[in-house]
Amino acid sequence: MKKLSFLLLCIICTGVSAAQAHKTINMTRKDFIEKVMDYEKGTDKWIYRGDKPCIIDFYTTWCGPCKRLAPILEELAAEYEGEIYIYKVDTEREPELAGLFGIRSIPTLLFCPMEGTPQMSRGLMPKETLVKAIEEVFGIKKEAPATK
Q: What does the pLDDT look like over 15-53, one tens digit per residue?
A: 334 444 569 999 999 999 999 998 888 777 888 999 999
Query: Helix, strand, or coil here: 41?
Result: helix
Q: How far is CA 91 from the centre of its chain?
A: 14
> What is the average pLDDT across 129-134?
96
Mode of pairing for the β-strands spanning 108-112 and 25-26: unpaired
Rounded to two decimals, the pTM is 0.81
Structural domains of the chain, ranges and CATH numbers in brackets: 20-138 (3.40.30.10)
Average pLDDT, the chain: 85
Whether 3 shows a pLDDT value over 90: the answer reads no
Query: What gap in Å lies between CA 113 and CA 131, rounded to an integer?
Result: 14
pLDDT in tens, 61-120: 999 999 999 999 999 999 999 999 999 999 999 999 999 999 999 999 999 999 999 999
Is the distance from CB of 89 to CB of 58 less than 8 angstroms?
yes
Report the catalytic residues. 63, 66
* Distance linking the first and last C-alpha atoms of the chain: 43
Query: What gap in Å lies between CA 46 and CA 29, rounded to an integer?
Result: 16
Q: List all residues 6 or more positions away from 143 whose beta carbon is below 8 Å from its beta carbon.
A: none
